[in-house]
């Protein structure tokens, strides 16, 4: 019986030997993963979060780090890219997006590349993005074919971008061993940024920063006006000129009340109180609209022209048929924005 037990033990050892004496790497269920690098970009304390219409001094200012969590990789080249897209409506009024592409904005190589987890600072201004994409053209499907993006109203050289524009900054990294990193998983891009702090052992990273164009409305004030070209609703033209003051007061951001939507016309033509009622003036990135109605329920439309520093001309009409022209001059001396 003892000999038989020894035989069984020897047989078991012989059967186990092929499985324990060698290792087939091709069938190893746990592969050796390559190490990698990531990027982390964040706004500096003094950075604007978005571009601002009418103020090109507001720039995106970022600190960027390349991150090797295990310090086994060294980045030798950093590429910074900017992507530009534009929202628009097609001929049927459906929302669309025009993709104007991705352009290389900054390139850092050799001694320009900082050490692991060391900030590299760069800024992006409206002029920088314009210079990258100034040759951009797009077919908006309106029957005229491809046109220059920056030839379309309301874009101007002074204000090339407006609220439908969206931008993104991203990066690509090359390591000393020649590997190229320009995309990462959704979890890396979206889940780990909040874990990034000041600790050198913290492993946070992200993949891009998105921004747009915001509008800061600054139309509140008291304005002197000179008004004429009056038309009496239901009647006809009324000769004469009126001077006075009108005040626009902030009700909420971008929305204003007025002390007289008719700029003296009601008093001069009708011998009536100023046109007030529930009229509100709304400023959406310099695109002006009026809501509500005067004390008689009539609504108003303003058309702006001849902007000249602190003065601007308004042609107005209401649904009763009253109309007129007023030249408004700001008492605070500020320039009027390019209202539409």
| CATH number of domain containing 260 | 2.40.128
Q: Identify whether residues 54 and 169 lie together within a single domain.
A: yes
What pLDDT digit, counting tens, does each position of 221-245 carry?
Answer: 999 999 999 999 999 999 999 999 9
What pLDDT digit, counting tens, does each position of 294-336 carry?
Answer: 999 999 999 999 999 999 999 999 999 999 999 999 999 999 9
Q: Mean pLDDT across the chain, nearest whole number?
A: 86
Q: What is the mean pLDDT of residues 144-168?
A: 91
Domain membership of residue 95 (yes or no) is yes
Of 175, 197, 214, the residue at which a domain comes to its end is 214
| CB of 43 closer than 8 Å to CB of 66 | no
Q: Identify whether residues 147 and 277 lie together within a single domain.
A: no
3-state helix, strand, coil in the chain (%, to 5): 15, 40, 45
Name the one residue in this structure whose structure tokens are 């101007």.
Answer: 156
Closest CA to 38 of 195, 259, 162: 195
Q: Identify whether residues 46 and 184 lie together within a single domain.
A: yes
What pLDDT digit, counting tens, does each position of 105-126 carry?
Answer: 999 999 999 999 999 999 999 9
- Indicate the pLDDT class of residue 253, thresholds 50, 70 and 90: confident
Closest CA to 134 of 119, 149, 117: 149
What pLDDT does residue 35 have? 76
Which tokens go with 71? 């310090």
pLDDT of 266 > 70? The answer is: yes
Q: Identify whether residues 168 and 230 lie together within a single domain.
A: no
Closest CA to 41 of 123, 131, 99: 123
Range of the domain at 284: 221-330
Q: Identify whether residues 204 and 244 lie together within a single domain.
A: no
pLDDT of 206 > 80? The answer is: yes
Q: Identify whether residues 82 and 210 lie together within a single domain.
A: yes
Q: How far apart are CA 50 and CA 72, in angstroms?
A: 36
Q: What is the mean pLDDT of residues 265-288?
A: 93
Domain membership of residue 23 (yes or no) is no
Q: Around 195, how many Cα atoms within 13 Å sit in the side-chain half-sphere?
A: 12
What pLDDT does residue 188 have? 65
Domain membership of residue 43 (yes or no) is yes
Domain membership of residue 24 (yes or no) is no
CATH label of the domain that carries residue 50 = 2.60.40
Give whole-number Cα distances, 68 to 40, 43, 50, 116, 198, in Å. 11, 21, 29, 6, 15
| Cβ-based neighbours of 245, under 8 Å, separated by 6 or more | 222, 223, 224, 225, 259
Domain membership of residue 292 (yes or no) is yes
Q: Identify whether residues 66 and 180 lie together within a single domain.
A: yes
**Range with the lowest mean pLDDT among 64-73, 77-86, 191-200?**
191-200
Of 192, 214, 236, the residue at which a domain comes to its end is 214
Domain membership of residue 6 (yes or no) is no
pLDDT of 185 > 80? The answer is: no
Q: Identify whether residues 102 and 209 lie together within a single domain.
A: yes
The DSSP bridge partners found for residue 121 are: 63
Give whole-number Cα distances, 173 to 109, 193, 203, in Å. 10, 18, 17
What pLDDT digit, counting tens, does each position of 10-40 carry?
Answer: 444 444 444 444 445 555 554 455 678 999 9
Domain membership of residue 269 (yes or no) is yes
> DSSP letters along 218-241, please?
---EEEEEEEEEEE-TTS-EE---
Find the helix or strand (DSSP H, E) in which 130 lies. helix 126-133
What pLDDT does residue 55 have? 86
- Indicate the pLDDT class of residue 163, thresholds 50, 70 and 90: confident
Q: Identify whether residues 106 and 150 lie together within a single domain.
A: yes
Instruction: Write down the pTM of the prediction.
Output: 0.65
Q: Identify whether residues 67 and 206 lie together within a single domain.
A: yes
Domain membership of residue 177 (yes or no) is yes
What pLDDT does residue 2 have? 40
Q: How far apart are CA 147 and CA 68, in angstroms?
A: 44
Q: How far apart are CA 189 and CA 32, in angstroms?
A: 23
What pLDDT does residue 27 have? 54
| Cβ-based neighbours of 52, under 8 Å, separated by 6 or more | 58, 213, 214, 215, 216
SS3 category, 277: coil
Q: Identify whether residues 302 and 195 lie together within a single domain.
A: no
| CB of 150 closer than 8 Å to CB of 130 | yes
Between 330 and 154, where is the model more confident?
330
How many domains, in total, are found in the chain?
2
The DSSP bridge partners found for residue 283 are: 288
Q: Identify whether residues 262 and 295 lie together within a single domain.
A: yes
Of 181, 214, 247, the residue at which a domain comes to its end is 214
């Amino acid at each position: 019986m003892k000999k038989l037990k020894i035989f069984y033990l020897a047989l078991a050892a012989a059967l186990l030997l092929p499985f324990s004496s060698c290792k087939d790497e091709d069938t190893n269920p746990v592969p050796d993963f390559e190490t990698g690098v990531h990027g982390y970009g964040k706004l500096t304390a003094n950075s604007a979060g978005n571009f601002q219409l009418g103020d090109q001094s507001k720039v995106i200012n970022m600190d960027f780090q390349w991150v090797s969590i295990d310090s086994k990789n060294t980045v030798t080249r950093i590429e910074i890219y900017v992507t530009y897209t534009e929202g628009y409506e097609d001929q049927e009024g459906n929302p669309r997006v025009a993709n104007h592409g991705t352009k290389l904005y900054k390139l850092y190589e050799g001694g320009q590349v900082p050490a692991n987890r060391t900030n590299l600072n760069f800024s992006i201004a409206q002029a920088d993005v314009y210079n990258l994409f100034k040759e951009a053209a797009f077919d908006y499907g309106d029957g005229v074919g491809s046109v220059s993006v920056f030839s379309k109203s309301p874009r101007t050289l002074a204000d090339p971008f407006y609220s439908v524009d969206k931008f993104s900054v991203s990066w690509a990294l090359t390591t000393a061993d020649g590997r190229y990193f320009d995309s990462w998983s959704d979890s890396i891009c979206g889940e780990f940024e909040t874990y990034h702090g000041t600790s050198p052992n913290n492993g946070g990273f992200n993949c891009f920063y998105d921004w747009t164009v915001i509008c800061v409305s600054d139309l509140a004030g008291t304005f002197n006006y000179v008004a004429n070209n009056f038309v009496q609703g239901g009647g006809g033209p009324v000769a004469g000129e009126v001077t006075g003051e009108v005040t626009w007061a902030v009700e909420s951001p971008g929305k204003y009340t007025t002390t007289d939507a008719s700029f003296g016309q009601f008093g001069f033509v009708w011998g009536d109180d100023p046109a007030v009622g529930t009229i509100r003036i709304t400023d959406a990135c310099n695109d002006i609209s009026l809501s509500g109605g005067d004390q008689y329920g009539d609504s108003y439309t303003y058309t702006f022209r001849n902007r000249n520093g602190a003065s601007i001309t308004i042609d107005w009409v209401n649904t009763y048929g009253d109309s007129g022209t007023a030249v408004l001059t700001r008492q605070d001396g500020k320039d009027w924005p390019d209202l539409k």
